[in-house]
Amino acid sequence: MAAFSAVGLMAQAPDLKTLGGGAQALQNQMKNVVVRSAEKMDEEHYGFKPAPEVRSFAHLLGHIADAQYAFCAGASAEKNPAPGIEKSKSSKADLVQALKDAFAYCDKVYAETTDANAAGIVKFFGGERTRLNVLSFNTSHTFEHYGNLVTYMRIKGVVPPSSEPRR
């Protein structure tokens, strides 16, 4: 009975045969590697920029957290609850927590996305899009910036989470 109870408490994997489940699975993949990247990079490298005109590692993390709130608030037709992370947070501890909080906010929106509401129209970036389009845009945006994080980590000799050997 105890084993059954423990299994019942574990998070259920998204149903990949649904629109919301497929979107949620990709978001979970990105959440995992971005948060692990923030945790792996030494704080001394959070200010690192490979060129003066680009964002620092810390600014990229803040930008990703800001985007999670912006996209997921847009997809759910809510007001953004936490704007300005990129400009207000710079320490490793603050940014790791901000990312965790931002992804947790989005987890709720992805989990509430169903085949029935995925095609619902929401206002976003001055236009109208489907809820699923906004969430897909969010995930592709996170993939884009994870690529930046990977480059920064490689330059500093850190193996990115997506390149770690599987256990």
* 143: in domain: yes
pLDDT at 11: 61
* 59: in domain: yes
The 10s digit of each residue's pLDDT in 34-66 is 999 999 999 999 999 999 999 999 999 999 999
* 123: in domain: yes
How many structural domains comprise the chain? 1
* 86: in domain: yes
The whole-model pTM stands at 0.91
* 137: in domain: yes
Could you list the residue range(s) of the whole structural domain that residue 40 is in? 17-158
Domain containing 105 — which CATH number?
A: 1.20.120.450
The 10s digit of each residue's pLDDT in 105-147 is 999 999 999 999 999 999 999 999 999 999 999 999 999 999 9
* 136: in domain: yes
* 6: in domain: no
The DSSP result for the chain, as a single string, is: -HHHHHHHHSPPPP-TTSHHHHHHHHHHHHHHHHHHHHHHS-GGGTT--SSTTS--HHHHHHHHHHHHHHHHHHHTT---SS--HHHH--SHHHHHHHHHHHHHHHHHHHHT--TTTTT-EEEETTEEEEHHHHHHHHHHHHHHHHHHHHHHHHHTT---GGGSPP-
* 130: in domain: yes
